[in-house]
């Protein structure tokens, strides 16, 4: 069984993680979205559903008996202890799903490269499962403009969202590659292609050595 070569993608809100993920998928690389896995934890068919319901009560349910993410979000983002409780329930489930998904996807890829898009990659220590970490960074003024355009947030609301995260400096300490997203998308794509070519050369050499050893 091929071991996955996991590259973590992270960055602050509005920096362009989804843009980079889209570029990678266009090039044929699988991207695991940790946020979507978190949504899966809240589905009635998932074991995490009952754990979250027991912790936060039936007030988080909608009329169909499903967990309402807006209701749950309103509750936990106003209380750091409740947010910590939710993370303590969901993150172990997400980590297991990341492991299972990355193993599965690695078998389907000649390069065995799998990307993990996670806003909280550093905060959860998921970077420890990654061979490399790519940090997408952007100037605050550009982020504010994107959040106003994409989310309809006022400047003050956007700055509050930015301030609620770890600083850009903290994130960059863990970066093997920094992708500056302040110009044209073509510049971003060029940098991605350069790094992918370097990683592919390394992987081919490593796999060749493994075959000879066997």
Domains assigned to the chain: 1-30+112-214 (3.40.50.300), 37-108 (3.40.50.300)
Rounded to an integer, what distance in angstroms lies between the CA atom of residue 106 and that of residue 6?
Answer: 9
- The per-residue pLDDT for range 106-165, each reduced to its tens digit, is 998 878 899 999 999 999 999 999 999 999 999 989 988 888 888 787 888 778 778 878
Crossing angle of the two packed helices 69-76 and 80-108, in degrees rounded to 10: 130
Over residues 70-117, the pLDDT tens digits come to 899 888 877 889 989 999 999 999 999 999 999 999 998 878 899 999
Query: pLDDT of 46-76, one tens digit each?
Result: 999 999 999 999 999 999 999 999 899 888 8
Q: What is the pLDDT of residue 211?
A: 44
């Amino acid at each position: 069984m091929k071991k996955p070569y996991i590259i973590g993608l992270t960055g602050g809100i509005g920096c362009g993680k989804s843009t980079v993920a889209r570029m990678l998928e266009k090039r044929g690389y699988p991207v695991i979205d940790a946020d979507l896995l978190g949504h899966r934890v809240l589905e009635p068919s998932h074991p995490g559903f009952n754990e979250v319901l027991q912790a936060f009560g039936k007030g988080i349910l909608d009329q169909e008996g499903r967990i309402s993410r807006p209701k749950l979000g309103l509750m936990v983002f106003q209380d750091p202890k409740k947010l910590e409780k939710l993370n303590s329930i969901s993150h172990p489930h997400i980590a297991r799903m990341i492991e299972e998904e990355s193993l599965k996807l690695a078998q389907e890829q000649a390069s065995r490269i799998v990307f993990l898009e996670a806003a909280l990659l550093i905060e959860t220590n998921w970077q420890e499962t990654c061979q490399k970490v790519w940090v997408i960074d952007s100037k605050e003024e550009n982020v504010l403009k994107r959040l106003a355009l994409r989310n309809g947030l006022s400047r003050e609301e956007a700055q509050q969202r930015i301030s609620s995260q770890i600083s850009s400096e903290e994130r960059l300490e863990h970066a093997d590659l920094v992708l500056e997203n302040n110009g044209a998308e073509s510049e971003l794509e060029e940098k991605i292609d350069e790094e992918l070519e370097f990683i592919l050369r390394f992987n081919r050499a490593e796999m060749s050595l493994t075959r000879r050893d066997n």
